[in-house]
Every structure is written in structure tokens, then in C-alpha cells.
Structure 1
Amino acid sequence: MARSVYVAGLGPGGGKSTIALGLAELLSRQVAGIGAFRPLAPAGGMDPILVLLRERYQIDAPTDDMYGVTHAEATALIADGKREELISLIVGRYRDLERRHPAMVVVGSDIGDNGDTDVAFNARLATEFGSVVVAVVDGFGQDSAAIAAELASAYHGLTDHGATVLAAIANRVPPDTSLPELPVPAYAIPEVPAVSAPTVAEVAEALGAIRLAGDDAALDRDVLDFVVGAAHVPILTDHLTDGCLVITPGDRTDLLVAAAAARVAGTAAVAGVVLTLGEQPDPRAMRLVEGLHAGLAVLSVPEDSYATVEASSRIESHPTMASPRKVEAAIGAFESSVDTEGLAARLDVARSARVTPLMFEFDLIDRARADRRHLVLPEGGEERILRAAEILLRRGVADLTLLGNADEIGRRARDLGIDIGNASTVDPATSPWLDEFTERYAQLRRHKGVTLDLARDVVRDVNYFGTMMVHTGRADGMVSGATHTTAATIRPAFEIVKTVPGVSVASSVFFMLLADRVLVYGDCAVNPDPDAHQLADIALSSAETAARFGIEPRVAMLSYSTGTSGAGADVEKVAAATALVRERAPGLLVEGPIQYDAAVDPTVAQTKLPGSAVAGRATVFVFPDLNTGNNTYKAVQRSAGAVAVGPVMQALRRPVNDLSRGATVKDIVNTVAITAIQAAAA
């Protein structure tokens, strides 16, 4: 059983970061904590791949422990004829780290000026580590025949030197690349500009540029092309393209204003402008650019335009935690091109019995991708929704419909440098479905006196329109709430979708991602003061939700009393609800009434409720009322540093989930993945 996978590239570059990220993502769904290692690293170990892997996968090791030796140390040892000593040093450092982690990703290093040296070095280390190898070649700028030959050469070179090759991957390949027949799976990952293209910020840093205008969002845009501005404005505008960086002398304020105007007009989403020769633009022109609110990054460099273009074209971009879009784009490219399920089976790493927060989050993406669903996002023009949509589409989590004016959404996406090309857009005000939705809603709410005219006004609201899409099967689920209140998001679901048969009340849970485990809290968002029957429904729904997401349900019915230690109406309600749960689900582990400390702490449980199968090890916590639940989840979230994923609605016939108005892009991605999984189960 392989505990370690070694990414071996043939020559420098080649996008090993993308492959390492993809493999780390794969392993992180299987084990509670991966490790990462590089045989060679720059002085101080500040290797960008190591830093990225350490931060993203929360690797519990200092960077200094994650590499063998520095490049300088390796060069000195080889020059002294001490190659075996070099190997021994690296292997020793690797073993020290490996002992602390159940699975390892090793990113191979380049040590020589020719491929043979690199292949032999990496094959030897992989063998000493006990690693299986993923061979990687760079297909950028090569034709299909050359890529196939290089991939076959990499495979045979590694196996000839004794390495066990798991798979071979050609990265950054052109479309329709043919791969050679090999004894192991071979994959081709296409060139993805969002991964390889530098950002404006990376260009600025490489050029030592001074920022004259533009916020951090403007600096985060990808640079897909370079346009040298030397002609007059009409000629320049003919050459502007989305993502281009305009390089022009600092005194050409006419071209600066034209680039900003093109961005505002939507004719070209210019990435930024670099002014050369150290010339500062006329302040009046800069005021005009700022007044246009183009969000354009304007940089100044002392060199001339030719030197600036030449230097810019040599910039290499790497995914980092500072550029989450690149990280997600790289993982998306890997997952859409590689048979990850087959690769995971070939790795055959034993899955951890413990579900960590990181495993839980990554498993959400994996499960949603496995049974892809179509979801509607009513807040289509909101920046966080667009950024999340890009990630979701790149990762293949779900098919998406964004509600809103298509031109405005497209313009907003281009302005942000976001690719949502595979998402559909629907404007409720002009949709051909509007008449059908009006009639259906009027029928559903006729008992409330809703007329056709009133129904038309109601279903033009994006949340009602999105819910009607779910109700009519045009979408499998809905996620909203980034800019709407909880009531505005879930009221349409209560009116239109309604609860599943046999359940009296819809409710919600939060997945509480603590440092070492995932707990389920219900109901902390919907029902103010449920009675005993409703509380039993909430408990059963919460247990079902927990099981659906890989958490073994052990249900604690919370109260201020444990067992028979207290009395009162509130305790009796919880006791009655517990009895109902046991009656309706005899096989479910449930305890109540029970206090929180007795539910979560084994030591307290031994004192207060010895012999209980739930006390001290509960995973599902059912709060007696909204006041208690909402305050508790927020207290744990803030005091314990837990991540609260939710609220996740349950017991609706089709999934509709609410976002916090402070939701981050990551929160939105997780909630959409959860909704997709719920839709698949429904």
C-alpha cells in the first residue's frame, strides 16, 4: 500500500504545482493529514510549491522540515563527488517527516542541465522513499507527436532506473493531443490561462513597478496578452482584448484614457496599463481615469516599452494562497482531465476512520462532482457569487444558472476577470417561463387570495423565481442569501417546495468544523420554540443529514438537565421528544435530556451518565430552542475558532439553502456543494 506519491518532472517547470495540488487534494479526502516534501529547495526552504501545500492543506510541520537540502548544498556535495551522501541526507530528512503523516506528496527537483540526470536522481529518491511516481512533462508549445514521444521517454526513463510509475501526465497541452500507449494510465491536461498567466500584481512585482492607481482586486486580474500602445486611439482600440496589459510611454495619456474607457464601455476588459520611461501621466488625465471608476490598475516603470514587454514575457506564474483563483483553476484542470477515482484506487491509501474538517470540506466537492446537479443562484450579479461560480464550474461541482440581466452579469464577470462561460443566465423579468410560473404560483397560493397579477409581481422576485425553477424541475436546488435576508430566501421554499411527507417542520443544521472533528448542530436558525413533536422531527432530520455527509449520528437532545437530575416544562419537552425519537427510530443512538458538557466530554459523561452510548461522544446536538442554539453555535464559532458551515436546510422536498450575508466565497462553494449532494439524495 503506497503512502507516498512522487511527482517527477522531465526538466524544469512543466506545471508540477498543478499535479502536486491535484494529488494533495486527492489524498486529503482519504487521510486526516498529509505531508509534503521537496528533495531540493531554495535557501530557507521558501519554495512556492511547499508554501502553498503547507498553507492549503494545513500541514503540521515547519517549512524547514519539508525539504531535504538546499540547491546550493546539493551543488557543493555533487561537486565534491559526494552524491551518495546527498542521497542519504535527503532520505533521512524525508523519513523524519514521513513518520508524522499518513500520506505524503513529494514534488521532485531538477538538479542537472539534462533530463537524464534529473530522471535518474528522482527515480533513485522515489525508490528510496518507497514512493510511486507520477511522471510529468510540459506540453506547452509542442505538437502532439513531440508530447507523446516525451511522455513515453519519461515513463521508460523512470522505470529503467527502477522507479514504480503510477501514471504519466502531459501538462499544458494543446487541444486534441494524442497520448502514447503505456502500461500505466496517461492523461493530458490542457493549457489553462487562469493558471499559467501572471496577474497584474505579479507583473508589477517582477518589473519593480510603482502603482499609480488600482486596488487589490485590480491587481489580481490575469494578464492574457500584451499590447504595445504606440499608435493613435482608434488603432489601439482595434487591438485591445479581454485580459490584455497595455504597455505605453507615460506621456501617452490619450491611450491611458482610451484603455480605461474601453473597460468601462465593456468593449475590452483591459487587465491594466503599464506606463514606461518613468514618465508620470498628466494629473488631469489621471483624475479622468479615476472618475470613470474603471477599476484599472495603472503602473509606472523606468524602462522603455521594448524592455518592459521583454521582461514581462519571461514572468512565470505559480498558484499561491494569495491567488486562490489560480489554485482552484489548477485543481479544476487536474480533476477534469485525470481519472481521480481510478488514480485514488491505484494509490490505495487506507481511508482514515476520523473525519477532519479538511477532509469534510474536500469530500463535499468530491461527492458533488460524482453526481453532478443543476443549481440556481438568484444573486447572479453579486461579486462573491460570481467568484464562487467560477470555482464551482472549474471544479465541475454543479451546473449553474445565474439569475439577472445576462449583459450586466457578463459585463460584471469580465470586469472582475472571471470566467463563467459554462453558466447559463436567466432574467426573471423577460424569461419565457414567467407566464407558467405566474399561473403555478397563483394556483399554489389561491387559498391565500393570490391573484394572477399579484403572482406575476411575486415570481419576478429572484428568490421566488429561483424557487419556482426548483419546483418545476428546471433546477435541482437553490442557494441564495448573500444579499438577501434568511426570511427572503427560505419563505418561498416554505410556500412552494414545502416539507417532505411525515415531517411536521423544516429545520436547519450547522456543520461545526472544529480543529479535530465535525459536529452537527440543529436547529440554530429557523424554529424559535419547537414543541416535543417538532423537536423529534428536528432530531431525526439532523441525524439523517449527518449520516448523509459521512458523520455517524449519535444524537444528544440538549437541556439544562442530564437524565433525571432536573425537572420543569423545558426538561419534560426534551424528554418527550427523546422518547418520540426512540419510538420512531429504534436503531438510532440518542440520549436526552443531556447537558452539553455531558454530551461532549467523556470524563463528565462518566460522572453524569455512565454507560450511555452517546454521552461523551455525541456528534449531533439538538438544541431545545432557537435562542439556545443560535447563541451556542456563535459562541463556539467565535471562541473555539470553529468554521460554521450553514445553515443547511433539511426536510424540504427539494433543497433550498440560505447563505449568511457575510458569506465568503469559500462558504458559498461549500453550501452549493452541500445543496448538490442533497439534490442527488432527493
Structure 2
Amino acid sequence: MLDDLKEKVKGKKIRIVFTEGEDYRIQEAAVNLVKDDICVPVLLGKKDEIEATSKKYNFDLTGTDIIDPATYDNFPAMFDLMMKLRAGKITEDKANELLHQTNYFGTMLVKMGEADGLLGGATYSTADTVRPALQLIKCKPGNKIVSSCFLLIRGDEQLVFGDCGINIDPTASQLVDITIQTARSTKNFGKDPVVALLSFSTNGSAKGDDVTKMKECLAKLKEMPLDFPVDGEMQFDCAVNEDVAQKKFPSSKVAGHANTFIFPNISAGNIGYKIAARLGGFTAMGPLLQGLNAPINDLSRGCVWEEVYNNAIITANQTLMD
């Protein structure tokens, strides 16, 4: 599946911003992305520090684009646009300060069309990666919230989990948006989404606030003209195992066949994807942000270069998606 995604973007010279260009993991990923013709890595940071890292680790950064915010030629135009976008919410001094931070600077490069997507979070927190995107890139029309998903791959298996990284305790209405966004991501990754709304209960077998929330989410979804099957609430084993599904939820066409999983809250989602990755042998890519006007994605601060590389492939593909 990753090979298919690589082929879609090869040679297209898609420009992906990396907000932590001095980091050796980012640079090793960048070298391999250039070698495989996946994208043009745009490395942000102080030029001397980027070069010091490349010299220390013997990385050849030919084919990357190194940009230092302090010496960026188009800074005045970027500053003016920032002031327009944040009119009445920011002072000139604060705008200048933020634009010398690579998370804001990189997001503005995407906003100005000088890059196609952004990958950050190797040293920045999730909040520091997402906040500039919410303020400057903003939601696509028709999207009320930004959410996230993880793409999990093991051999020929491909699963999508949402929301594991952004919305802490979404309401039933927010879960509707998360479900639709995550199903769209599954489709964009080449699979027909079959969506399970997860819970500790299956089809009313237990009671609780999260059970009620997932039931309300399903009821709202059933009123909409969806182009994918969705059902719930159900436990994970029921969602993926046909034998269990026949015992617990025989009336459901989704149970036993799901490939897209919506969690009731961020705790369940975050724990779930990490168990799949650490014990289940899945490669996890994400969190991939959904609902924004441009691809802005987050890395774990514990990431290795291979994870940066894989997430860059996904980010590059997102630039080609609706």
C-alpha cells in the first residue's frame, strides 16, 4: 500500500515543509525522500545549525530547500498577510515574534502557496503544530472541526483509526464530523470505508455516557445521505471478527468487516493505536489532520526517521486529494 502511495507522488516535486530542519531524524528522512523522488523537503531553521547537523551525520542535503526565517527574502509579504489573517487578534510585535518560530513560519509558507503541505512535531508539541494551522489555514468549507486519524498498515491489512490525537472528548455531533472525515480519509487511501462506532458496549449490551454518545452519533449519521456503511455501537472484537459479530451483533452488516474505527474519546483512540503499533505489529502513520484547507500533519516527539519518511509520503498524497 505504501508503494502505491509512493508511486502516486513520485516525480511531482511536491514541496513539504519540515519545521524542525536541524533535527537529525528529519534530515535522514529528507535524504531518503529526495533519493526516492517523493517530494522536495523544505527544511526550516537556522542555516548554520542545519548544516552542523548534516556535517555531524554526513547527510548530503542536495535536493532539499533550506530556509532560515531570519533571512527569508519574502518576509515583508508574509508579515503583511499574517496581520490580515489575524487582524484585531495580534500585535505587530507578536506577529513578528511568531513568524520567527518555524511552526508559524512554515504554516505561512503553505498559506502563501510556497509549499504544499507541512510536517511538524519532532520537537514541537501537538498543540504547537495544530494551533498555527487552525489560525491560518483554517477548516475546509463544510467542515466544522479539525480532527485526526491514524493509518495502520500490516502487510496487506489497512485500518484507519479516528480521532486519536485532537478532540479530547467529542460530542455526538462532533463524532459525526469525525466519522465523515475519517471515512473520507479511508477512501482517499484507496479503500472503501466500512465504519464501526466503537464502545465497551455492543448494540445496547451495557449502559453509560459513552454508549449513549455513540448511539446518538449513529442516529444523526443515519439521517444523512452517506456513501459508506456505518454501524454501532460495538466492541472492537465485534467490529473485526466475523464469528464474534455473529454472536453479538448478527443484524449488522458492518460488524466483523470494519476497516475504519471511530473511538468515543481521545484516551481510547490513543491507547488503541499504540497497542496496535507496539503489540500488533502495525506500522502507524499519523496523527494525520482532517478537515483543514491544506495538509498539516503532526509527528510524535518520539518518532524515528522512518516514521517521518512514511508520514511525508502520506502528507504528499494528501496534497493530491479533495
TM-score by length of 1: 0.46
1:154 paired residue number: none
Q: 2:192, 2:228 within 8 Å by CA — same for their partners in 1? A: no
Q: 1:434, 1:456 within 8 Å by CA — same for their partners in 2? A: no
| 1:642 pairs with 2:286 | no
**1:527-555: CA deviations, max 9, x gaps?**
00111111011011111101111122100
What SS class does the counterpart of residue 556 from structure 1 fall into?
A: strand
Equivalent of residue 433 in structure 1, options 64, 74, 85: 74
Letter in 2 for 1:399: V
1:489 paired residue number: 129
Equivalent of residue 670 in structure 1, options 307, 310, 313: 310
Structure 1 unaligned spans of 5+:
1-359
1:415 paired residue number: 56
Equivalent of residue 233 in structure 2, options 583, 586, 593: 593
2:119 paired residue number: 479
Measured after TM superposition, the shift of residue 516 of structure 1 is 5.1
**1:279-299: CA deviations, max 9, x gaps?**
xxxxxxxxxxxxxxxxxxxxx
| 1:367 pairs with 2:8 | yes
**1:629-657: CA deviations, max 9, x gaps?**
11222222222232211111111110001
Alignment of structure 1 residues 73-222 onto 2, 5 Å: none
Letter in 2 for 1:405: K
Measured after TM superposition, the shift of residue 482 of structure 1 is 1.0
Distance 1:522 1:570 in 2: 15
Greater relative CO (CA pairs within 8 A, separation 6+): 2
Measured after TM superposition, the shift of residue 411 of structure 1 is 4.1
**1:478-509: CA deviations, max 9, x gaps?**
00111111111111111111111111111111
Letter in 2 for 1:583: E
Alignment of structure 1 residues 472-551 onto 2, 5 Å: 472-514=112-154, 517-551=157-191
Aligned length: 322
Q: 1:439, 1:452 within 8 Å by CA — same for their partners in 2? A: no
Measured after TM superposition, the shift of residue 567 of structure 1 is 3.5
2:300 paired residue number: 660
**1:333-386: CA deviations, max 9, x gaps?**
xxxxxxxxxxxxxxxxxxxxxxxxxxx222222222164411111111111111
Letter in 2 for 1:445: R
Equivalent of residue 202 in structure 2, options 562, 572, 575: 562
Distance 2:38 2:75 in 1: 28
Q: 1:372, 1:676 within 8 Å by CA — same for their partners in 2? A: no
Letter in 2 for 1:473: G
Measured after TM superposition, the shift of residue 570 of structure 1 is 2.1
Greater Rg over alpha carbons, structure: 1
1:457 paired residue number: 97
Measured after TM superposition, the shift of residue 455 of structure 1 is 0.5
Residue range with higher mean Cα deviation, 474-483 or 410-419: 410-419
Letter in 2 for 1:633: Y
Distance 1:424 1:460 in 2: 18
2:21 paired residue number: 380
Equivalent of residue 619 in structure 1, options 235, 246, 259: 259
Letter in 1 for 2:270: N
Q: 2:11, 2:39 within 8 Å by CA — same for their partners in 1? A: no
Structure 2 unaligned spans of 5+:
none
Letter in 2 for 1:659: L
What is the root-mean-square deviation of aligned Cα atoms in Å?
Answer: 1.6
Distance 1:595 1:371 in 2: 42
Measured after TM superposition, the shift of residue 438 of structure 1 is 2.1
Q: 2:139, 2:291 within 8 Å by CA — same for their partners in 1? A: yes
Letter in 2 for 1:549: F
Q: 1:582, 1:588 within 8 Å by CA — same for their partners in 2? A: no
Measured after TM superposition, the shift of residue 515 of structure 1 is 5.3
Distance 1:561 1:445 in 2: 45
What SS class does the counterpart of residue 680 from structure 1 fall into?
A: coil
What SS class does the counterpart of residue 584 from structure 1 fall into?
A: coil
Distance 1:586 1:416 in 2: 50
Query: Could you say if the C-alpha distance between residues 404 and 527 of structure 1 is closer, same or farther in structure 2, counting changes exceeding 3 Å?
Result: same
Letter in 1 for 2:279: S
What SS class does the counterpart of residue 527 from structure 1 fall into?
A: coil
Distance 1:592 1:566 in 2: 13
What SS class does the counterpart of residue 482 from structure 1 fall into?
A: coil
Distance 2:228 2:197 in 1: 13
What SS class does the counterpart of residue 28 from structure 2 fall into?
A: helix
**1:157-182: CA deviations, max 9, x gaps?**
xxxxxxxxxxxxxxxxxxxxxxxxxx
| 1:680 pairs with 2:320 | yes
2:85 paired residue number: 444
**1:18-42: CA deviations, max 9, x gaps?**
xxxxxxxxxxxxxxxxxxxxxxxxx
What SS class does the counterpart of residue 681 from structure 1 fall into?
A: coil
Distance 1:397 1:515 in 2: 21
Q: 2:31, 2:61 within 8 Å by CA — same for their partners in 1? A: yes
Q: Percent identity?
A: 39
Distance 1:647 1:530 in 2: 17
1:390 paired residue number: 31
Q: 1:373, 1:680 within 8 Å by CA — same for their partners in 2? A: no
Alignment of structure 1 residues 217-366 onto 2, 5 Å: 360-366=1-7
What SS class does the counterpart of residue 614 from structure 1 fall into?
A: coil
1:185 paired residue number: none
Distance 2:40 2:274 in 1: 32
Q: 2:110, 2:294 within 8 Å by CA — same for their partners in 1? A: yes
Distance 1:492 1:476 in 2: 15
Q: 1:434, 1:460 within 8 Å by CA — same for their partners in 2? A: no
Distance 1:493 1:586 in 2: 28
Measured after TM superposition, the shift of residue 451 of structure 1 is 1.0
Distance 1:405 1:587 in 2: 47
Distance 1:501 1:603 in 2: 41
What SS class does the counterpart of residue 553 from structure 1 fall into?
A: coil
Distance 2:214 2:46 in 1: 49
Distance 1:535 1:617 in 2: 21
Query: Could you say if the C-alpha distance between residues 574 and 480 of structure 1 is closer, same or farther in structure 2, counting changes exceeding 3 Å?
Result: same
Q: 1:521, 1:622 within 8 Å by CA — same for their partners in 2? A: yes
Distance 2:209 2:320 in 1: 40
